[in-house]
Structure 1
Amino acid sequence: MKYKMQNKQNQLIERISDSHLVVGVDIAQHIHVARAVNFRGIVVGDPLSFENNEDGFHRLKVWINELKRKNNLQSTIVGMEPTGHYWTNLSKWLLNQTIEAVTVNPYLVKRNKENRDNTQSKSDKKDALVIADMVKNGYYAFIYKTPESFEKLQVLMSNRDVVVKRLVSSVNQINRWVDVVFPELREVFKNVTCKGAIATLRLFPTPGELKSLSPEDIVQGWRSTMKRQPGFRKARLLSELAKESIGSQTALDAYTFHLSQLLEEYDLASIQLERVEQEVTECLNQIPFAMKLLAMKGISQISLSGILGEAGDLSGFAHGNALLRHAGLHLVEASSGKWNGKVVISKRGRSRLRRFLYLATMSLVMNNPEFKDLHYNNIHVKKMKGMKSIMKLIGKLARILVSMARRNESYCPEKVQPSTSIAA
């Protein structure tokens, strides 16, 4: 099946009939503003400002029903920008009230703000009217009720990103601390976050403390905190290097205090990361087709969780190309007359979804035999550049994931083989 965006655009326009009241809402943290037009774009009624709470939402519903009654309209569609997290409560409330809610692209709102008055002016009332016009012209996307499992994944993976950033930050600061106070530690432990290095930093962090200890004392200290500890050879080397250390010899109390806080942050982030990944695994097991997707060699639980958390139920996408558009990975070009510009990806979509699709594809290219063959065929037979091949394979992965989810079928390696035979 060929997926054509133009067909979808036509369908979105055709859905707005002469019986529709089209409402645009400019989203804010506390006070929203609503404007309404009919299917021709003629302004209907006065603007409405309402609070971001239950009373305000009921005022919006009363206002909508009054406009429908006065103008003899039967249907309602409400458009809004997905501004931060402020729009989610209103959209869910409207869906619970069986009022159709849709979103518009904030970038397009900015580009269309001069359509009515040909000025650069901006206000909440004007933005609401621009949003209503865009919905009337079919420039909107549906808001679907996300199943709880997918919403959980989105929250958990967002939480995981925050924890990983904190963990990476603490590791970087520990590395800096070692460079300043005890740089010779790297000659004993290549990685300063390995168990032996962390145990050493906890027990005797500064070279001054190590100077007064024998190798036997160092090993004994390791044994008190580790089941499997480094041997006497590393302990002896560590003691010798401490005596000749070029690290800072001043303000050691402050440095030691700083290190203790860094290790606390490192421990906390490590524990939280382990817990959130356990929650992700449990949530993934509740999704029916997830196990079939994980059967693809090279797809990790974290990558798949990131994709499902950002994209939602993949069976709701009409085609893999729709998933690519959702991620901002669809191709765009600029050309005029005899001039043809570069074809690039739009990057107008979910950045986190793009990241996880890219990471999943890179993992497949390294570990999955079929994707290895496809990548080899693209580079050596079709003479593509490496990154162009990866982008092409991301599209392949998107189509495979959507197809497997829609049909609830297992991964079939034979369908993924390159059509061109690979030269020996």
Structure 2
Amino acid sequence: MEPTGHYWLTMTHYLLQKEIKAVVVNPAHVKKSKEFDDNSPTKNDIKDARVIAQLVKDGRYSEPNILTGKYAELRVAMVQRERLMRSLIETKNQVHNWLDRYFPEYPTVFKDWEGKASMITLKNFPLPQDVVNLGMEGIVTQWKNEVKRAVGAKRAIKLVEAASTSVGISLGQTMARREIEMLLEQYFLLTKQLDELAHDVVTILEEIPGAVQMLAIPGLGWITVAGGASFR
């Protein structure tokens, strides 16, 4: 088989379950070998099948590394983690994009928009006009209701000042609020899923010989250990 995309995996698993040997050929070899017979790089199913069969006959193949048991669980988990991380990075970039459009002065008040006070702000009064309408005292009250440690009035004053002179877009504010609301929902969902996945991965690692000892090595985290074990 030619292991392009994901379609070959199901067939490979099926063949192995039936105790039939499954082998794969390098897609680059298939591409280079197409011109040998008819001096043409054209592609079709019949030609591809003939080229793949010839490569297998000549012994130019390899056996796929199909993991089983806990190692298979780890591989699935790490693939999912990669997908979630891509989505999280994209969501964070969209939040930055939103701030650049509607409240470009925001980073002068909150260097890290993922902090607790910042999250309260973005959830409850994200737009400059919302901040101005609420005022310094209202902002401090909102922060103190959800943040245990005291959040200084100086930052609230700085936020109001930034909002008062903001050059952000002032049109379409209803849907702008809805947009940041949806982005934050995505952010919290993704971070929750990543935390749950991390717990699952560590639990699996505890059942793999040598993994616990590797985790005890300073500077070697579960991501590195799981990555190595899932793609061994």
> TM over 0.5, yes or no?
yes
Residue in structure 1 matched with residue 63 of structure 2 by the alignment: 142
Residue in structure 2 matched with residue 94 of structure 1 by the alignment: 15
Q: Which amino acid aligns with 2:214?
A: L
Once residues 145 and 124 of structure 2 are traced to their aligned partners in structure 1, the CA distance between those partners, rounded to angstroms, is 10
1:239 aligned to which of 160, 163, 167: 160
Once residues 98 and 215 of structure 2 are traced to their aligned partners in structure 1, the CA distance between those partners, rounded to angstroms, is 40
1:127 aligned to which of 38, 48, 54: 48
Shift of 1:138: 2.1
Once residues 39 and 173 of structure 2 are traced to their aligned partners in structure 1, the CA distance between those partners, rounded to angstroms, is 65
Q: Does 1:115 align with 2:36?
A: yes
Residue in structure 1 matched with residue 128 of structure 2 by the alignment: 207
Q: Mapping of 1:152-301 within 5 angstroms?
A: 152-301=73-222
Structure 1 residue runs without a partner (length 5+) = 1-79, 313-424
Q: State TM-score, norm by structure 2.
A: 0.90
Tell me if structure 1 keeps the 8 A contact 2:102–2:127. Answer: yes
Once residues 293 and 130 of structure 1 are traced to their aligned partners in structure 2, the CA distance between those partners, rounded to angstroms, is 44
Tell me if structure 2 keeps the 8 A contact 1:171–1:193. Answer: no
Shift of 1:121: 4.0
In structure 2, the CA distance between the partners of 1:176 and 1:143, relative to structure 1 (3 Å rule), is: closer
Which secondary structure does the structure 2 equivalent of 1:100 belong to? Answer: coil
Q: Mapping of 1:57-68 within 5 angstroms?
A: none
Once residues 101 and 139 of structure 2 are traced to their aligned partners in structure 1, the CA distance between those partners, rounded to angstroms, is 22
Q: State TM-score, norm by structure 1.
A: 0.51
Tell me if structure 2 keeps the 8 A contact 1:219–1:229. Answer: no
Report runs of 4+ in structure 1 exceeding 6 Å deviation: none
Which secondary structure does the structure 1 equivalent of 2:36 belong to? Answer: coil
In structure 2, the CA distance between the partners of 1:229 and 1:175, relative to structure 1 (3 Å rule), is: farther
Residue in structure 2 matched with residue 85 of structure 1 by the alignment: 6
Q: Quote the RMSD (CA, aligned, Å).
A: 1.9
Once residues 288 and 92 of structure 1 are traced to their aligned partners in structure 2, the CA distance between those partners, rounded to angstroms, is 25
Q: Which amino acid aligns with 1:216?
A: E
Shift of 1:83: 2.4
Post-superposition Cα deviations, 1:141-177, rounded to whole Å, max 9, x if no partner, equal: 1134412212111111111122112211111111121
Post-superposition Cα deviations, 1:91-144, rounded to whole Å, max 9, x if no partner, equal: 122222222111111111111123344443433222222222212222111134
> What is the percentage of aligned positions where both structures have the same residue?
37
Using the TM superposition, name which of 256-265 and 237-246 deviates more. 237-246
More helix by share: 2
Shift of 1:305: 1.6
Post-superposition Cα deviations, 1:318-338, rounded to whole Å, max 9, x if no partner, equal: xxxxxxxxxxxxxxxxxxxxx
In structure 2, the CA distance between the partners of 1:122 and 1:140, relative to structure 1 (3 Å rule), is: same
Which secondary structure does the structure 1 equivalent of 2:53 belong to? Answer: helix
Q: How many residues align?
A: 232
